[in-house]
Amino acid sequence: MIVILKQNTDQMQLDRLITWLKNSGVDVHTSVGQSQTILGLIGNTQHIDIDLISQLDIVEDVRRVQEPYKNANRKFHPNDTVIKVNENVSIGGGNLTLIAGPCSVESEEQICAIAEAVKKSGATMLRGGAYKPRTSPYSFQGLRTEGLRLLSLAKQHTGLPIVTEIMDISQLDGFGDVDVIQVGARNMQNFELLKALGTTRKPILLKRGLSSTYEELLMSAEYIMAGGNDQVMLCERGIRTFETYTRNTLDVAAIPVLKQLSHLPVIIDPSHSAGKSALVDPLSCAAVAAGADGLIIEVHNDPAHALCDGPQSIKPEVFDALAKKLAVIKGAISK
Amino acid sequence: MIVILKQNTDQMQLDRLITWLKNSGVDVHTSVGQSQTILGLIGNTQHIDIDLISQLDIVEDVRRVQEPYKNANRKFHPNDTVIKVNENVSIGGGNLTLIAGPCSVESEEQICAIAEAVKKSGATMLRGGAYKPRTSPYSFQGLRTEGLRLLSLAKQHTGLPIVTEIMDISQLDGFGDVDVIQVGARNMQNFELLKALGTTRKPILLKRGLSSTYEELLMSAEYIMAGGNDQVMLCERGIRTFETYTRNTLDVAAIPVLKQLSHLPVIIDPSHSAGKSALVDPLSCAAVAAGADGLIIEVHNDPAHALCDGPQSIKPEVFDALAKKLAVIKGAISK
Amino acid sequence: MIVILKQNTDQMQLDRLITWLKNSGVDVHTSVGQSQTILGLIGNTQHIDIDLISQLDIVEDVRRVQEPYKNANRKFHPNDTVIKVNENVSIGGGNLTLIAGPCSVESEEQICAIAEAVKKSGATMLRGGAYKPRTSPYSFQGLRTEGLRLLSLAKQHTGLPIVTEIMDISQLDGFGDVDVIQVGARNMQNFELLKALGTTRKPILLKRGLSSTYEELLMSAEYIMAGGNDQVMLCERGIRTFETYTRNTLDVAAIPVLKQLSHLPVIIDPSHSAGKSALVDPLSCAAVAAGADGLIIEVHNDPAHALCDGPQSIKPEVFDALAKKLAVIKGAISK
Amino acid sequence: MIVILKQNTDQMQLDRLITWLKNSGVDVHTSVGQSQTILGLIGNTQHIDIDLISQLDIVEDVRRVQEPYKNANRKFHPNDTVIKVNENVSIGGGNLTLIAGPCSVESEEQICAIAEAVKKSGATMLRGGAYKPRTSPYSFQGLRTEGLRLLSLAKQHTGLPIVTEIMDISQLDGFGDVDVIQVGARNMQNFELLKALGTTRKPILLKRGLSSTYEELLMSAEYIMAGGNDQVMLCERGIRTFETYTRNTLDVAAIPVLKQLSHLPVIIDPSHSAGKSALVDPLSCAAVAAGADGLIIEVHNDPAHALCDGPQSIKPEVFDALAKKLAVIKGAISK
């Protein structure tokens, strides 16, 4: 950590600050220049409160040198985390995992038909919304517990492990048969929920908030991991920018950046990134080419009747063709 | 609602769409042009699913004409909502309400001293964090239930009603003595929490999310109001932009815009907007000049020892001088 | 174009508006509803001034249905534009064009060595900055006319056509030997420059502004094309968002979107997108996988001595390996 | 400047770097910690190339401590710059300057009538567009030289000094009678234009780019000042954010921040900030309350016939009432 002092610092105040810092357990190196004095704090600065120092009269700025996340940090865990969902499905470590399914679970017939279709095309996990975060209170809110029941049926039917979104801690009891719990973008900084998930031992698919930085995403992962659950996947699903033609802007650079900063697997959601079904194919190809560990894609057997998010779903036959192309791209970059 | 059709639309598909729309209870006016056909949907279009129509093969675009919020909409409630917190404190309707207090509740001595100080300067409500949303799991998370207890003591002591943040539904039971429940920016789209607050009869201070549009903020208010609780205040607290010199960017235009679109009171948080104590004064002045119904300001008796958010807190004497200036500005724009 | 009227419109004002619109040469279809009246304007609305109508007392909103760009619009030119730079190099139409070279031209030795190296690896065009837009007046501003002279030498030497940036109309005379003129992101809306380039018959590489929408980019292309020069390439080079870890955020969805809206070739600049050399490889792969017609990449033979933009340049051997991988990805998506 | 080294740095490379830095004329203070070594560069680091150092193998990050602008920096010029436009009009130093006039100059009658009206209401400078930057090549581009002629007539007529926008260096010859030259937001980083304006001795009104940071704005001012022209006013006119209800988002914090970082006057453009005439009043009040040195406001005598930007213009009588209110607010904050 670096503390930049204001010009013409009062020496007594400076001495007090240095003493206080040393008592906090860090070494302090002072660089005195003509117009500026800088303190370099060396040692374990994780418990030094930046805000506290920032507001001192003699301090102009404080900058962190080390990343504030530790469990999620590749520096301390050089090897990729591989998340074993079941004996057949592992995420990370060179695999390309395709997670597919409808936006919302609507009926047993629907979820089972889609599950079978995407399994045939190479998907190894089924997605489907039971609890649905909707901007409007007047929109369909999901089948909720009934949706979880139908997902379980589809899992029994096809053997595909299931991933579905949790919206509140109180729903956690119903997630016993869920293999991967998804935290939506709007809940990425619902810290009470993250803490609760840290006490479970289920893999978590953590979506990046609409305007969350890489560091904030990693800090939210850190919330889960600090609780003892290190099975976290990071999911980029488009960020909010000034461009409104697409619903969100897929930040494809998030893939190599997050994989460099962290050892956790990175999953891309091309469906929500753009909000247009015609863009799912090129964005999926881009994500795999950039090194994504997996994709989570909305597939619907009858888009014209989807209860929500229809415009971004693709049909099973489109998914099938896409899956084949993605395998070739994965091969190209793995050489 | 307007449906813009693709060029060279298939007439049979178009007829089917029109029949379906009419059966949904709306009138359809067709405008056929050389290169484009447009359908105007007239009547109660609130239950027409835009997503569903958007994805039809013959549809190029669908645009909503009416706002999707109803309870929060000034068109249907022309008069200002005035929220009566107690017999002395009413928010909205021409009042300028000053809410002040520390970022975090730290001790009985601290919260009572600040409460007394800000009351003397004209604050009519006390703020203070018991549950604290922090980016890092390693930062101070608030005194939690003990913080709520200390707030109650300060309320007894000074008579000031209290506003404090809720972070999870499970905390609601402890909020019995809280006068106004705050929903933080990160929870603005925690829809399960909003629904739960809609069933209470306590006033809610709803903070705008870091990258939430006016419409999304109003839709979140709508979630609470749809549950029967129409005591909602909207709070602008800075949005996230490309500029990083300030922590957030105060969107001062939100004040006249929200007051035009909605009848709900608009409160400004100048402390979190900028994240720098030196900016609290000019931003507060700007907010009042732009027509804000109130301000929520962080005040600390000893900023150097604040446990969080220190850089954005001002001292009681600064708050006192500010309060006097704000009264003059309020007078200037009320003439 | 759709005109949404305010509630309780004055009939006389409405009649006057309709008469005026019809006299402007468009048909007007009126849809009268319970709470809202909508006018659909049919015909050639390109010369109707939206701003003029928007400000009328009886008008609530005006929305354009047709895109405001015509020459750049794929609807009116369904086939891809292919730009023939010379008898060997054509951009668009299924080709993958690699443009490579240093950020700045520094010396004859430097530019010729890099030109030879990138040619060997498959680049078919040479890039290099003679005029350099720098944020600081104290930074190196490019070799200017001497830089253009050295680029010509490298062109003679290798046969590679050259692309370099223009910063002001007054520099145009010196661009006689330049094959493709680049307009930088900061000049995307330098309309006087765009008009001047519209009078030339040289291909233009038009970079998207840091916060320019797709439509604004296409309107800037329209400025050039309206002058009679239809040889325009669109270049996505990263947009400005809240994320500051990368210099800019590559908007990879721009590729399929721009290719759908327009018939012009789309080039990606992975070097400026991220501002970090380690990200050039994954972003290049992503761009090709998403369907880019070409890439413009900074390559430097001795990054440690680059005069500007060093962190985002890669070495020739890295470029060579990348070029091979890109060919395989291009093959995968072309099947 | 601070150089943060990678873990396990090679000692020989480090020694070479330190030697090189010392030869560049700066002192180097080394802080060696357990996991991180930091170099503090002390002295005149303005000519040290950050990019160059960043790309060295042993360097993790480089951070600037001092601002890169010097002429515009308040640290080196503590007193406010006051720009004397003529014997009656001075900008900065406690004055509140109102600049008003139409978006575009349209006719002698129009510009003279508006000039007289706004003068009566207290405006001390006349604005009006002769050269108009328009997104579409098909929109009205301004009366150009004829517009400049009409502005001169209005100046003769009323005695009001005039401010108008330049779009290209080639237009500069016609600006002899212009008192303040405006650089539009889209040209804020048109560095060749800034350099040319640096050689004039006319005051420059420099508008902030749509997505330019404070530092970038100040660096653009530095371009002009480095050429010897220190008569620069900074103008905030709304930035581009995710919110699209308003055309731009007025960043009101820019006022205190820019006045703290720099000694240059800060002018606010409330008309372009929001793009809606109803918001001109509250945004103007906010700007003055936050400490702006002046406002530049679009006023039109007949908004229904404005050739461009009509929705954001107000009528003279609205301007008159606003001017009175602003004087009271200015009084309130000056006490």
The predicted-structure confidence for D271-304, as pLDDT tens digits, reads as follows: 999 888 899 999 999 999 999 999 999 998 775 5
Q: Note the pLDDT of residue D304.
A: 54
Could you say which of A211, A251, A290 has the minimum Cβ distance to residue C285?
A: A290
Q: Which residue of B has its CA nearest to A167?
A: B192
Whole-angstrom distance, CA of residue C142 vs CA of residue C172:
16
Q: Going by DSSP bridges, is the β-strand pair C90-91/B97-101 parallel, antiparallel, or unpaired?
A: unpaired
Pick from A47-61, C257-271, D238-252: least confident: A47-61
How far away is chain B from the Cα of A66, in angstroms, using its nearest Cα?
14
Subunits close to C (at least 3 CB pairs below 8 A): A, B, D
For the packed helices C316-334 and C108-120, what is the interaxial angle rounded to 10 degrees?
A: 30
Q: Where are the alpha helices (DSSP H) in chain C?
A: 11-23, 50-54, 108-120, 145-158, 191-198, 214-226, 254-261, 270-274, 280-289, 316-334
Chain C residue numbers with beta carbons less than 8 Å from the beta carbon of B64 are none
Looking at the complex, does the CB of residue D210 fall below 8 Å from at least one CB of chain B? no
Q: Is residue C276 part of a domain?
A: yes
Q: Is residue B76 part of a domain?
A: no
- Please name every residue paired with D125 in a beta bridge, in sequence order, or none if there are none: D99
Q: How far apart are CA C313 and CA C319, in angstroms?
A: 10
- Indicate whether A179 belongs to any domain: yes
User: In this model, does residue D128 exceed pLDDT 80?
Assistant: yes
Kindly determine whether residue B245 and residue D215, on different chains, have CB atoms separated by under 8 Å.
yes
| Pairs across C and D, CB distance < 8 A | 119
pLDDT of the residue at C305: 53
A286 Cα to chain B: minimum distance (Å): 24
Contact list in C for residue A312 (CB cut-off 8 A) is none
Q: Is B2 on the interface with C (CB under 8 A)?
A: yes
Average pLDDT over residues A221-225: 97
pLDDT digits (tens, 9 = 90+) for D130-157: 999 999 998 889 999 999 999 999 999 9
User: Model confidence over B246-259: pLDDT tens digits?
Assistant: 999 999 999 999 99
Same domain, C184 and C294: yes
Q: What is the DSSP letter of A62?
A: E
Per-residue pLDDT at D210 = 97
Residue A33: predicted pLDDT: 66
Q: Are residues B224 and B256 in the same domain?
A: yes
Question: Looking at the domain assignment, is residue C75 inside a domain?
Answer: no
- Say whether both D115 and D51 belong to one domain: no
Mean of pLDDT values over A294-315 = 75
Strand partners, B73: B262
| CATH code of A10's domain | 3.30.70.1140
Closest residue, chain A, to B168 (C-alpha) = A192
Clarify whether residues B93 and B217 are in a common domain: yes
Considering Cα of C130, then C131, then C135, then C138, what sign does the dihedral take?
positive
Average pLDDT over residues C89-100: 96
Q: Name the H helices within chain B.
A: 11-23, 50-54, 108-120, 145-158, 191-198, 214-226, 254-261, 270-274, 280-289, 316-334
Instruction: Let me know if residue B69 belongs to a domain.
Output: no
Whether B317 shows a pLDDT value over 70: the answer reads yes
D280 and D133 assigned to the same domain: yes
Mutate to test the interface with C, among D54, D136, D211 (most CBs of C within 10 A): D136
Domain that holds residue A7: 2-63
Average pLDDT, chain C: 91
Residue A110 in this model has a pLDDT that exceeds 90: yes
CA distance C164 to C181: 6
Angstrom CA distances, B75 to A198, A291, B43, C39, C258, stand at: 45, 50, 16, 21, 39
Choose among A22, A286, B144: nearest CA to C255.
A286
**C31 lies in the same domain as C90:** no
Lowest-pLDDT choice from A195-199, B146-150, C169-173, D75-79: D75-79
Task: Identify which of A34, A65, A211 has the shortest CB distance to residue D43.
Answer: A34
- Domain check: are D6 and D88 in the same one? no
**pLDDT of D307 above 70:** no
Q: Is C246 in Cβ contact with A249 (below 8 Å)?
A: no
pLDDT at B22: 85
Find where tokens 């807190």 sit: B313
Mark yes or no for CB contact A137/B306 under 8 Å: no
Q: Which of C211, C283, C329 sits opposite A253 (nearest CB)?
A: C283
Residues 227-246 of B with CB under 8 A from A: 240
Please report which confidence band the pLDDT of residue C310 belongs to, taking 50, 70 and 90 as the band edges: low
| pLDDT exceeds 60 at position A283 | yes
Residue A68 lies in a domain: no
Put simply, whether B192 touches C (Cβ < 8 Å) is no
**Which residues fall within 8 angstroms of residue C249, CB to CB, at 6 or more apart?**
A239, A241, A249, A251, A253, C238, C239, C240, C241, C243, C273
Residues D102, D140: one domain?
Answer: yes
User: What is the widest separation between alpha-carbon atoms in chain B?
Assistant: 76
What is the number of domains present in chain B? 2
Q: What is the mean pLDDT of residues B257-270?
A: 98
Q: Give the strand order in the sheet containing B37-42.
A: B27-32, B37-42, B2-5, B59-63
B196 touching D, CB under 8 A? no
pLDDT at B304 (0 to 100): 54
Which residue in B211, B252, B262, B329 has the most chain D C-beta atoms within 10 A of its own C-beta, making it the best mutation to test that interface?
B252
pLDDT above 90: residue B118: yes
Q: Which residues of C touch B36 (CB under 8 A)?
A: 42, 65-66
Q: What is the mean pLDDT of residues B198-222?
A: 98
Lowest mean pLDDT among A40-49, A137-146, D255-264: A40-49
pLDDT at B24 over 80: no
The whole-number pLDDT of residue C268 equals 98
Mean pLDDT calculated for residue range C279-284: 97
Task: Say how many CB pairs under 8 Å bridge A and C.
Answer: 125
Q: Which CATH number does the domain housing residue C104 bear?
A: 3.20.20.70
| DSSP tag of B247 | S
- Average model confidence (pLDDT) across chain B: 91
Residue C219 pLDDT exceeds 90: yes
Mutate to test the interface with D, among C71, C135, C277, C308 (most CBs of D within 10 A): C135
Determine, yes or no, domain membership for B157: yes
Q: Say whether both C154 and C207 belong to one domain.
A: yes
A237 and A171 inside one domain: yes
How far apart CA A247 and CA A267 sit, in angstroms, is 19
Q: Measure CB to CB from residue A167 to each of B192, B216, B307 and give the nearest one.
A: B192
Q: Which structure tokens are listed for D198?
A: 């640096």
Top residue of C31, C64, C73 to mutate, by most chain B CBs within 10 Å, is C31
Verify that D124 and D195 share a domain, yes or no.
Answer: yes
Dihedral (CA of B313, B190, C244, D63) sign:
positive
Predicted local distance difference test score (pLDDT) of residue C86: 96
Of D168, D306, D311, the CB nearest to C169: D168
- For residue A226, the model assigns a pLDDT of 95
Q: Are strands C125-127 and C162-166 parallel, antiparallel or unpaired?
A: parallel
Confidence of residue A303 (pLDDT cuts 50, 70, 90): low
Mutate to test the interface with A, among C247, C324, C329, C330 (most CBs of A within 10 A): C329
The model's pTM is: 0.93
B190 contact residues in A (CB cutoff 8 A): 167-168, 186-187, 190
Residues with Cβ within 8 Å of residue C20, at least 6 apart in sequence:
none
H or E stretch at A99:
strand A97-101
Phi and psi of B33, rounded to 5°?
-115, 180
Examine the domain organization and report whether B221 and B318 are in the same domain.
Answer: yes
Contact A168 B47 (CB under 8 A): no
Q: What is the pLDDT of residue B64?
A: 76
Residues 6+ apart with CB under 8 A from C223: C191, C194, C195, C198, D137
- Tell me: pLDDT of A35 over 70: no
Q: Measured in whole angstroms, how far is the alpha carbon of residue C239 from the centre of its chain? A: 12
Which among C63, C97, C115 is the end of a domain? C63
Q: Is residue D196 part of a domain?
A: yes
Of C213, C244, C252, the CB nearest to A283: C252
Residue B321 corresponds to which amino acid?
A
User: Is the confidence at residue A141, as pLDDT, over 60?
Assistant: yes
pLDDT above 90 coverage of chain C, percent: 71
Mean pLDDT lowest among B157-166, B189-198, B273-282: B273-282
- Between C55, C133, C171, which is nearest D303 by CB? C55
Quote the CA–CA distance of D256 and D266 in Å, as a whole number.
9
Question: What CA–CA distance (Å, rounded) separates C193 from C172?
Answer: 10
